[in-house]
């Protein structure tokens, strides 16, 4: 091995870095009993630092593991098995799904590794886009 780090996984759009921290912070906050809406600033800042750390010092494997964690949050809200802000879950789901679809253009196993997550996210995004029957936010 040449010792050089493969960074092609960073060549995707900036939406995950820009949009995920706030959405994920909202999902984490609502799963701990906070009301729907903007998450507390400290949670958003913590999530932003985590994403920045992954991008600047992480690896493809660590990044995909983080996105799998986000996928679990999104699919839990969509399935109703976890409390959460549906708008934040939809945004996070769309961003991660777009990311996973673009992996087809990059070398490496990322696209095949995310196949199950793509399927779960497609289903979750469809569910989250549909109007709720009660009108209440879960």
pLDDT in 10s for each residue of the chain, 138 residues: 445 566 666 666 788 888 999 999 999 997 665 555 567 788 999 999 999 999 888 888 899 999 999 999 999 999 999 999 999 999 999 999 999 999 998 888 889 999 999 999 999 999 999 987 655 554
CA pair distance 137, 45, nearest whole angstrom:
25
The answer to whether the CB of 68 falls within 8 A of the CB of 116 is no
pTM for the model: 0.84
The answer to whether the CB of 90 falls within 8 A of the CB of 41 is no
Residue 30 CB: number of other CB atoms within 10 A? 24
Residue 113 CB: number of other CB atoms within 10 A? 15
Backbone dihedral region for residue 5 (phi beyond 0: left; psi -120 to 50: alpha; all else: beta):
beta
- pLDDT score, position 59: 86
- pLDDT score, position 41: 85
- pLDDT score, position 3: 52
């Amino acid at each position: 091995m040449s010792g050089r780090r493969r960074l092609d996984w960073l060549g995707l759009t900036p939406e995950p870095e820009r949009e995920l921290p706030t959405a994920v912070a909202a999902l984490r906050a609502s799963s701990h009993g906070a009301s729907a809406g903007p998450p507390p600033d400290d949670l958003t800042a913590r999530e932003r630092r985590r994403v920045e750390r992954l991008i600047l010092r992480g690896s493809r494997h660590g990044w995909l593991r983080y996105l799998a964690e986000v996928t679990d949050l999104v699919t839990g809200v969509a399935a109703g098995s976890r409390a959460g802000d549906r708008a934040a879950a939809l945004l996070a789901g769309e961003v991660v799904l777009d990311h996973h679809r673009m992996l087809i253009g990059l070398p490496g196993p990322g696209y095949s590794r995310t196949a199950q997550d793509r399927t779960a996210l497609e289903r979750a995004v469809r569910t989250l886009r549909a109007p709720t029957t009660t009108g209440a936010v879960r």
